[in-house]
Amino acid sequence: MKTLDHVNVSGKRVFIRVDFNVPLDKKDGRVADDARIQAILPTLRRVMDSGGKAVLASHLGRPKGKVVPEMSLAPVARHLAGILGKDVPLAPDCIGATVRSMVDALPKGGVILLENLRFHPEEEKNDPDFSKELASLADVYVNDAFAVSHRAHASVHGITRFVPVCAAGYQMAKEVEYFKKSIENPKRPLAVVIGGAKVSTKIGVLENLIPRVDVLIIGGAMANTFLKAQGYRVGRSMVEDDFIPKALELLKLAEDKNVRVLLPVDVVVAPDMASGAQARVVDVAAVPEDAGIFDVGHRTVQAVTEALSGCATIVWNGPLGAFETPPFEKATFALAAFLGSSTALTVIGGGDSASAVKKAGMDHKVSYVSTGGGAFLEMMEGKSLPGIEALEACMGKE
């Protein structure tokens, strides 16, 4: 993909779509986790150092097309100013004559942050007039917000039709690069660990991945549906009974493609998620009727790590258990620790998996942690992302 390295930005207004949808501290409103801000700094500094005028645009939260003061990007502007050591003004809006004047008045190397894009309903509707208004602030458009690039929104998709020069930011390019390394053209054997709550949300992913992988490991609550499909009793565990036939179909597909599939062999059960003190490990054939499965056991973890030890590429999307609630975090954290020490290419597919490796202290030890759970998942499903399609179309017209 064309990046900023291929674009002259000196003296130009560079509209950078970033993802500053960051958590804020409930007590003082400050940025609680700035990982997404840190991720775009290489792109931002490249524009600043090249004499461009950086116009940053993002959403925060879900204001649903209305101005919600608690979802203002003001805390982000202050936090970014602290990182850069220079003033980062927050525009009062993201469109309009006042905003255009502020952008035009920026000095070379200056930065401005536009107010929350989603204060306007036209953003999520991909409204052409709103897209054109955003484009009036730009000589160059840069998408460095992979996490929202599966959304056909005005600042991600529509704006590219009205800006003459488009490029991918460095973070966006890195996301695509690691996806290609891990899924499209991996070193083999390739293993994918799929977890999470519902198999229904991962059917497309599994159908697309099974013909591509060598080892498939299924965990999380979604594994319960596969276990029940195989005749195991799973007590009060979350199960999607309507998808049992699909689970059997997927297992048959894996068998036909000679894909090794690992399901839990032992599990951690409790009367409910709040009853951690009563948790115990049982064989999958011995789940009590009055208990539910909330994690996988140590024998499963051992089987998983042994299977992964022989793999050159490992992709992980979705936790193995209810890791937010002790003591059901053990398997997920054990997997994170293994991946952190692995010599394989280890790619974490964003979302809960990214949160898990961070909580386990392994986020800087794995090869790559995606910034976009939903976007990464859609790419795993084989879907094209509107944000990337729009970039490619814009690049093609230059």
Matching residue, tokens 């910034």 = 371
| Choice among 50-64, 161-175, 238-252, 349-363 with the minimum mean pLDDT | 349-363
Task: Name, in order, each residue with C-beta under 8 angstroms of 307's C-beta and a sequence gap of 6 or more.
Answer: 191, 215, 217, 260, 262
DSSP string, 144-193: --GGGTTS--TTTTGGGGS-SEEEE-HHHHHHHHHHIIIIIS--SSEEEE
The CATH fold of domain 176-366: Rossmann fold (3.40.50)
For the cut 60, the answer to whether the pLDDT of residue 398 exceeds it is: no
Residue ranges per domain, the chain? 4-168+385-396, 176-366
Q: 300-323, pLDDT tens digit by residue?
A: 999 999 999 999 999 999 999 999
Give the residue-averaged pLDDT of 139-144. Answer: 97
**Percent of the chain whose pLDDT exceeds 70:** 99
pLDDT tens, position by position, 225-265 = 999 999 999 999 999 999 999 999 999 999 999 999 999 99
The domains spanning 4-168+385-396 and 176-366 adopt the same CATH topology: yes
The pLDDT score that the predictor gives to residue 48 is 98
CA dist., res. 196 & res. 136, Å (int) = 42
Q: How far apart are CA 308 and CA 303, in angstroms?
A: 9
pTM summary value: 0.91
For the record, the structure tokens of 70 come out as: 């608690």
Q: What pLDDT score does 336 carry?
A: 97
Catalytically active residues are 36, 198, 351, 374
- Summarize the confidence of residues 127-131 as an average pLDDT: 98
Confidence bin at 395 (pLDDT 50/70/90): confident
Question: What are the pLDDT digits (tens) for 46-92?
Answer: 999 999 999 999 999 999 999 999 999 999 999 999 999 999 999 99
Residue 397 has pLDDT above 80, yes or no: no
* Cα angle, residue 171 at apex, residues 384 and 11 outer, rounded to 5°: 110
Averaged pLDDT for residues 334-362: 94
On whether the 4-168+385-396 domain is CATH 3.90.79.10, my answer is no
Sheet holding 266-270, edge to edge: 280-283, 266-270, 292-296
